[in-house]
Amino acid sequence: MRKTWLVFAVATGFGAVLVYPYLSLDIADSRLDVRDGVQYSVLVVHIFTATVALVLGPLQFVPKVRARKRLHRTFGRVYLLAGVVPSALAAIPVAVWSGRPLTQVSLTAAAVLWLVTGGLAYRAARRRDFAAHRTWMLRNYALTFLAVTSRVLVPVLLLAQAPLGGVDPASATALIPVGQTLGWVVNLVVVEVLLRRGQRPATRSPRRTKRFATRRDAPAA
């Protein structure tokens, strides 16, 4: 529960930072190079809708929200239809316009996986397979959280250069595509590890099991 709220707080903070430069809707304030108003408009759609998904995503895993089915469904539909779907569709041209081959391939792949996992989560919910629905939603939000992870990894990669001869801030731009790629890969790997751990049956130590059996089989006084 606390971890969910921590993720929510981090997502909200990063979301505010991401969306702030675009609140003015002034192309001159864009943090990414755009050639014209069309590219800027697509970028704004991508960022605003990604922020919606980023902030709403953790709320889907809050027990009190999940217990209120109507609220949970409403949040889920807004998350997918006003967040994931438009942001993923806009991410593809934004990636292509970047001009960086790794960004073009990586973010396009992430966008497609974002749509696929969202669709599978929705289909599982329609079938009332809520265990599968939760699993696919976790994978989907792992892709959403790329917006955070990629921006954390770039400075980490910069600092990793220190033992190799010092930190070169000028290489930050070159590391952005690497951070974008590692961001969603690392997120998915972490989620898969957590899911596999959650699927392991609980086991008791042989000593504890033997002691329990002895107590159970002992005659009553």
Q: Using CA atoms, how far apart are residues 153 and 157, in angstroms rounded to an integer?
A: 6
Q: Are 91 and 110 in contact (CB under 8 A)?
A: yes
Q: Compute the distance between CA of residue 202 and CA of residue 187 in angstroms, rounded to an integer.
A: 25
209: confidence class by pLDDT, cuts 50, 70, 90: very low
Q: Is 80 exposed, middle or buried (0-12, 13-18, 19+ CB in 10 A)?
A: buried
- Summarize pLDDT for 165-197 with one digit per residue, the tens: 666 666 677 888 999 999 999 999 999 999 998
Q: How much is the CA Rg of the chain, to the nearest whole Å? A: 22
> Cβ distance 52 to 78 under 8 Å?
yes
Contact 25, 44 (CB under 8 A): yes
Residue whose C-alpha is closest to residue 194's, from 137, 140, 135: 135
* Sign of the alpha-carbon dihedral angle for 112, 116, 121, 126: positive
> At residue 116, does pLDDT exceed 80?
yes
163-175 burial, b at 16+ Cβ within 10 Å, e below that, comes to eeeeeeeeeeeeb
Fold of 2-217: Four Helix Bundle (Hemerythrin (Met), subunit A) (1.20.120)
Q: Mind listing the pLDDT tens digit for each residue in 61-115?
A: 999 998 999 999 999 999 999 999 999 999 999 999 998 999 999 999 999 999 9
